[in-house]
Amino acid sequence: MLYHVRMDVHPPVDHRSVDFEQLKVEEKRIAQELQRDGKWLHLWRIAGHYANVSIFDVADHDELHRILTSLPLFPFMSIDVTPLAQHPSSLR
């Protein structure tokens, strides 16, 4: 199943309470691993925002939920998920 996912990151006000830079390093590692595995198909930065738009290809809602909640930055994100379906006018 394909999903359009927007993730907006809201860094903690008190950076001393968490090693936010280390979380970003781990987030990048996991995102790249998921891309290599074919789960995270596309990843685009939204210009002017600490946010991204991504396309995931996973088995179901539960797998997507597991992936998103396992991301190191998940506690600092607001996430909007839209399931996608084939459009009848699409050439693909």
* Nearest-angstrom CA–CA distance, 31 and 23: 12
Domains along the chain with CATH numbers: 2-84 (3.30.70.1060)
pLDDT value at position 69?
98
* Nearest-angstrom CA–CA distance, 77 and 6: 10
User: What is the identity of the amino acid at 69?
Assistant: T
Contact 67, 57 (CB under 8 A): no
Segments of the chain with pLDDT less than 50: none
* Mean pLDDT (the chain, rounded): 95
Q: What residue ranges in the chain does DSSP mark as E strands? A: 2-9, 40-45, 51-57, 77-84
pLDDT value at position 15?
66
pLDDT value at position 22?
92
pLDDT value at position 18?
77
User: pTM above the 0.95 mark?
Assistant: no
